[in-house]
Structure 1
């Protein structure tokens, strides 16, 4: 008998405020055409005054619970991937736990920037395989609009806010790639590349800081490393790009998404793309895309998915999952 972490429910939440590219034309030297041509982004969502990451996460989590037909106390563990927690501590995960009315189990944050949801899924999978939890609620939630330097046209137009959630449940499998659930994970990091993507604030400076990015360097590393980690995760279960029904990538930039798919030899018709509507929502982008892809009727039971992401650190990784 093999235990697998199988998807039980999925959900998402987006703030009400929609910000089209045209809104930036009044703030900085840019245009809708410039933003679309370089990123594929047409619009994104921003939080309202007073709205926090844990607010978004709670709404997405409740949507996933509703889809799964579960109550908060049916969950054993809650893992929240975010780089924009409400406070330095306590963790945003414990805030979500309280707001959901979850009175048992445990909750903690994972911080791997845009790769956060992949790292959170790997942690949730390990909790289930080790027997420490039967059901794990995994959330990616961000309010990156609060980290933007509104004078930097190369970064402020790229990011948005949102949250997505996934519930994993322990189920028996046969131990082969036909099983439902997480089949393999591949995680990586390399701290030597810290300076190409970071926020220049924190405890050491006493400020929140702003996001700083060397776009060309991030692009180069992303295309190379995303394809490599996806192939590595597939090879662990003797699969290849030909077996993949859907790539569900981190939604950072349409050119990165297209280049990665090409390296994996997967046509764009089998890639879930939401970057045009959400922008880069960091750790929230993959669960948002999963939920939207399921809502659209694209992702169906039995489909083989590869999720891959890269973020500051650098940190990157992939998860192979059968829906």
Structure 2
């Protein structure tokens, strides 16, 4: 028998002791707010091709392939002075302003971006310092599923009464490592995905609630083909004067990528819905990670997702890495497509490979 969507298993219907306080009822987690920051400056795909031609005059680089392969027409580009933390902080400030909260009201900050300011310490520390917050912090990273995994962690921490109000945020700055100079024309095909990425910041507010908001999260991983999609670290030596780590461009092995994507069983999504007696018709919005427009439509076909429920961002905003899903959520709320009480699904696929499904009542 399928249990109702807002019901929890009987085993979790119990009272848990508050830290040093009276016994209170079981808590749930609600998505209390979302905000996004998209840099004003943009580059069209035609402008990207112009820049590549200018910086590689001796190479015969194909025109039109970036758009044909990805569907990306435009991407956002942050200021040269911006760090990932800056993009995240702008989103968090907007989030707090909308919720009428101050940095001191945050119990925990989880940074969930692929891009980081430094290798050590956690970028969440830098964000807290820029906000003037003094709460605990840490980072969660799992490629483009980082935010989904951070929500899973936050949900557990809130349910176990460790924290009552958590901010999950990310700042993606992938254009900073765009490979504008190529050694030969063949390299273009290896790094072509790097010309589809976009800069963005996003933030989510999660709070303790007496009623369910985050209803379910399901994740799987198939790691055998982890090296199909990689942003490598180069020049790591013991000589600090010349050997500081540097990021290479996003490189793709198309054969391994296809194999890895096919290894992800779509049953994770279908079972996740069936366990709660849901179909796609029950959702107001379905947010799907988007690295390519053609892959998005193929995913919708495979999963049976009605295309009218999807927030399409890849064409005008590029691949925003881990910020993609929260940016879509923010757009859905801002446009009125998602209202309080509506069901929303977040479906992520990430390098590695991993796939995840989050079901929530907004």
TM more than 0.5: yes
- Summarize the Cα distance change of 1:282–1:299 in structure 2 as closer, same or farther, 3 Å threshold: same
User: Residue deviations 1:260-279, cap 9 Å, x none?
Assistant: 22222221111111111221
Structure 2 CA distance for aligned equivalents of residues 249 and 226 of structure 1 = 16
Structure 2: any 5+ residue segments left out of the alignment?
1-24, 54-60, 183-187, 238-244
Equivalent residue number for residue 358 of structure 2: 319
Structure 2 CA distance for aligned equivalents of residues 224 and 211 of structure 1 = 21
How many positions carry a matched residue from both structures? 315
Equivalent residue number for residue 75 of structure 2: 44
User: Residue deviations 1:126-152, cap 9 Å, x none?
Assistant: 111111111111113211112333333
Residue 273 of structure 2: which of 234, 237, 244 is its match? Answer: 234
Aligned runs of 1:79-228 on 2, under 5 Å? 79-103=110-134, 105-150=135-180, 151=182, 152=188, 154-173=192-211, 179=212, 181-201=213-233, 204=236, 206-215=245-254, 217-219=256-258, 221-222=260-261, 225=264, 227-228=266-267
Task: Give the stretch that moved more between structures: 313-322 or 158-167.
Answer: 313-322
Equivalent residue number for residue 15 of structure 2: none
Structure 1 CA distance for aligned equivalents of residues 145 and 127 of structure 2 = 21
Residue 249 of structure 1 and its aligned partner are, at CA, apart by 1.0
Aligned runs of 1:300-315 on 2, under 5 Å? 300-315=339-354
Secondary structure at the aligned position of 2:145 is classed as: helix
Tell me if 1:24 matches 2:48: yes
1:54–1:85 Cα contact (<8 Å) kept: yes
Bigger share in strand: 1
1:226–1:317 Cα contact (<8 Å) kept: no
Structure 1 CA distance for aligned equivalents of residues 276 and 229 of structure 2 = 32
- Name which one, 1 or 2, has greater alpha-carbon Rg: 2
Residue 4 of structure 1 and its aligned partner are, at CA, apart by 2.1
1:72–1:100 Cα contact (<8 Å) kept: yes
User: Residue deviations 1:41-78, cap 9 Å, x none?
Assistant: 11001122121000000001111111112111111111
Structure 1: any 5+ residue segments left out of the alignment?
174-178
Structure 2 CA distance for aligned equivalents of residues 236 and 106 of structure 1 = 35
The TM-score, its normalising length taken from structure 2, stands at 0.81
2:37–2:87 Cα contact (<8 Å) kept: yes
Task: Give the stretch that moved more between structures: 273-282 or 238-247.
Answer: 238-247
Structure 1 CA distance for aligned equivalents of residues 179 and 325 of structure 2 = 24
Task: Give the stretch that moved more between structures: 203-212 or 50-59.
Answer: 203-212
The TM-score, its normalising length taken from structure 1, stands at 0.90
Secondary structure at the aligned position of 1:48 is classed as: coil
